[in-house]
Structure 1
């Protein structure tokens, strides 16, 4: 879960997880990949008929600049070979793009007129071509027939991950093939895996019209961006630990979150309960910590630190599991608990180490959750005991 770029300046990088080994390997015999030859024209036709889907929320499909898109189209005009594609075959036999999203969205943008706003007509106009400069400023329909024919007949190879392949195996395959110009992040791979009600629910929790989404933005002070699905990664992490429990954790973290995403229930009543508990956790975190929620603070005069994912994990899940009575006791003593948490960060080396380095090891996951839950339970019980004496 290490961030490889500095895109997220206000999210603390999780260090020291590079060498964590998977403790529960998958069965290689469960790998099911078919090699299928096609040409560009056939791919576009399947995409036009919605038999190949370019997921709108897998990530922003149009991350390439118009120049990069144009030069990809120019490669097809020149009949140059292009890299193979990976698709995931769904139960309804439709194909979902796994690797090759930027190339597929470029074809969609140029040949079908589906731009960055879904199916609204927004044809790509070619620009900054290197060799076939005579076609600069042209749209698909303005190209000569022989050039269109060359593009359509360009041969491609498809690796199709067959339906029925277990999700953990798919995740491993997606991770191994994730070598494109704009590599998928872990959450984007999960989104590709679980398109449907699970991803819809993640999106719903973050919807700016929902109380859960409002308080997520408040508690994180809008530090967690939607681009490249960093916000979905936070919510997926919450759901995995909420549904599975930290005591069941086995490395690595991405596979654990994938397992948690897979078991998101379809039952509306259960989903409503999860949403209510997620909302109350974020609301309580904001009411106690304000915009300092989920950040390290060692004294009141400390400069504000970035959002820390492990702190988000332990606080959001622990708060989500509190009773109404426990929440009230905590909220009535919010300033005291905030001070107590600063002291806790300063003095509890086991917790601090577990949220700082090697955060995806089993020891770190167990330690940070155990230590914080002990702090929280002790604080609430102390308040309850004192209240009972009056």
Structure 2
């Protein structure tokens, strides 16, 4: 599959699908004037704890100040956002008289910002927005705040939708919250913001994007829009991820990854699979990095899912530029990329204990991603997959 040339990737672009997207190096400088155009007067910037001292925050606030816009920052968001943190962010939004949220950072910042947005202007409990629940009715007099998303990692693809993963502290489980009426008014994709990302986070978040593309494409059902985005996202990520890890200042690689991540993120509106179902619950219990957890589990679930799916494997292999379109060759290429970018070979390497497997399996079976896995799995089968991932995933 043909991959875009460097010169094309470096050109600024404005797109309107599925939400307004401003893509291109250096475009964070436009955030102030973009807020003015959207009628935003006092945004709350939401990021994660690890990003509170990074230069992009001062650049963001500087652009806002230059446009006459004041802002506050909420950074009390964990790598796996918790429901109590969302409540604290909602209180700051209300007490500060804010009218918009700018979510900037990695996946946790995106999830935190979107979750705060869901509850900022209403008295609806956060968990009423859980994906499996009836969609709450939002009064026209109290619409959701304006939402702007600015990803600084190329992995989650969380910038174009309202879906967010949040840990229910009492249950020790992750759940997806969302509302169809919450859409970002702008997703600003600036590859320059990913340049300073350390190699390990570049690898982990990039592997997350690869997992999104693969799992979304394997979800059963007729959805050519999502399938096309998944394949193009996979093509971009598989081509540019190893380069981005090896050459962190390669702007074309950073741009290719940011767009591949975005496309893969849109594609999983179709659904995900057991990689995410297991990873969500491991992350909720052990606070592991989500993309890293996905990356370790991915080959285990592929070996379970792919037999009988040869036509889809052929198209994915072609997207990755492989001459051999067999299941074995496809899994081998995925594993080669994971080796190339330094992904550990087991969950035990990131301190996930074997004795959690039954508990994780039971929770994973209830995850919404398990319902769209292409092969139905029992709790015992999920437990076996989890144990394999803990002991020796590849």
The TM tier, using the shorter chain, reads under 0.3
- TM norm structure 1: 0.28
Larger RCO: Structure 1 or Structure 2 (Cα < 8 Å, ≥ 6 residues apart)? Answer: 1
Larger C-alpha radius of gyration, 1 or 2?
Answer: 1
- TM norm structure 2: 0.28
